[in-house]
């Protein structure tokens, strides 16, 4: 998907919770932090919670896509003692969200919303662009659950946008939707949220993306590992075939 108007910002992200990335730019570095709450959960049964993640990418030459460095794929690995339950929310397709304002997206998919957040991008180093993120439980793709990552931005200078009251919020002048596919992963991870082909929808580099996934039992956790630790990993794949892998951990308590 590409918005071709010169005034429109098109970039990609994720969400998961997740997530994410974006950019046509020479990437200097990408990193992230996460927090799952509550940190005190049962050992064997799962307790509903919230996952907050903050992904940050810095660039040496924002907007310079030669020789490359744009994020083409982003994979967020979730601890094996976290559980995603898509059945607790309605499902929403990318088509229902395409080209919508926040108000229109909520009208179409309110019962599928499982998270929200904020995004910040750079207009190729010229000025900062601010945006709002809405996460929706998606329809299946290839038989696997998905997460629809909807972002509404104000691609102008100054870039002013409020993320409050999305059900009635018509701010912003450009939107993009990416689909993250939830796949199985190897221990110590249980699932990976895989967002691919990002540069097909990305024009300007994303600098920061912070989201919280929380809706009933959509995401839940237990503290079963012997070392009482949760693990998360993110892999960035850039369009010059370079990769960056960052791992983070968080202690949990049984209770």
Give the number of domains in the chain.
Answer: 1
- Note whether residue 6 is domain-resident: no
Q: Average pLDDT of 191-195?
A: 95
pLDDT at 209: 86
Q: Which H or E element spans position 137?
A: strand 128-141
Whether 101 shows a pLDDT value over 90: the answer reads yes
Residue 82 has pLDDT above 90, yes or no: yes
pLDDT at 57: 81
Give dist(CA 74, CA 8) in Å, integer: 23
**Is residue 91's pLDDT more than 70?**
yes
Residue 9 lies in a domain: no
Which range marks the domain in which residue 187 is found?
25-241
Name the residue among 228, 183, 221, 213 with its Cα closest to residue 82: 221
Q: Report, as an integer, the average pLDDT of 89-97.
A: 97
Question: How many beta carbons lie within 10 A of that of residue 6, not counting itself?
Answer: 6
- Give me the percent of the chain exceeding a pLDDT of 90: 67
- Assign 18 a pLDDT band (cuts: 50, 70, 90): very low
73 compared with 102, residue with greater pLDDT: 102
Helix ranges (H only) for the chain are 94-97, 102-109
Higher per-residue pLDDT: 14 or 142? 142
In a domain, 247, yes or no: no
Q: Is residue 75 part of a domain?
A: yes
For residue 108, tell me if it sits in a domain: yes
pLDDT tens string 25-51: 444 689 999 999 999 999 999 999 999
- Does 78 fall in a domain? yes
Region 222-226: what's the mean pLDDT? 98
Query: Would you report the helix, strand and coil content of the chain in percent, each value rounded to 5?
Result: 10, 50, 40
Q: Across residues 245-253, what is the average pLDDT?
A: 98
Query: What does pLDDT average to over the chain?
Result: 86
CA distance 18 to 206: 14
Report yes or no on 53 lying in a domain. yes
pLDDT for residue 3 is more than 50: no
Q: Band the pLDDT of 245: cuts 50, 70, 90.
A: very high
Q: What is the mean pLDDT of residues 114-135?
A: 91
Q: If you average pLDDT over residues 158-167, what whole number do you get?
A: 97
Give the pLDDT mean for 103-126.
93
Residue 200 phi/psi, 5-degree rounding, is -65, -20
What's the rounded Cα separation, in Å, for the pair 2 and 61? 22
Q: Give the tokens for residue 86.
A: 């898509």
**Does the residue 42 lie in any domain?**
yes
pLDDT at 223 over 60: yes
Q: What is the pLDDT of residues 164-190, one digit of tens each?
A: 999 999 999 999 888 999 999 999 999
- Is 60 exceeded by the pLDDT of residue 74? yes
SS3 sequence of 51-102: EEEEEEEEEEEECCCCCCCCEEEEEEEEECCEEECHHHCCCECHHHHCCCCH
């Amino acid at each position: 998907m590409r918005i071709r108007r010169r005034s429109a910002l098109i970039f990609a992200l994720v969400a998961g919770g997740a997530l994410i990335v974006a950019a046509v730019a020479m990437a200097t570095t990408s990193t992230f932090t996460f927090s799952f709450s509550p940190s005190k959960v049962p050992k064997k049964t799962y307790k509903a919670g919230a996952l907050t993640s903050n992904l940050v990418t810095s660039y040496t030459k924002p907007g310079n896509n030669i020789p490359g460095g744009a994020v083409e794929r982003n994979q967020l690995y979730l601890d094996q003692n976290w559980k995603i339950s898509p059945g607790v929310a309605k499902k929403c397709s990318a088509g229902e969200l395409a080209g919508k304002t926040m108000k229109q997206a909520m009208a179409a998919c309110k019962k599928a919303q499982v998270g929200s957040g904020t995004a910040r991008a750079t207009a190729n180093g010229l000025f900062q662009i601010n945006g709002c993120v809405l996460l929706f439980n998606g329809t299946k793709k290839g038989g696997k659950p998905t997460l629809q990552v909807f972002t509404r931005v104000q691609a102008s200078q100054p870039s002013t946008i409020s993320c409050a009251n999305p059900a009635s919020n018509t701010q912003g002048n450009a939107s993009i939707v990416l689909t993250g596919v939830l796949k199985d992963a190897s221990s110590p991870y249980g699932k990976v949220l895989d967002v691919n082909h990002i540069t097909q929808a990305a024009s300007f580099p994303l600098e920061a993306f912070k989201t919280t996934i929380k809706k009933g039992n959509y995401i839940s956790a237990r503290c079963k590992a012997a070392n009482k630790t949760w693990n998360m990993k993110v892999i960035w794949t850039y369009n010059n075939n370079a990769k960056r892998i960052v791992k983070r951990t968080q202690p949990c308590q049984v209770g």
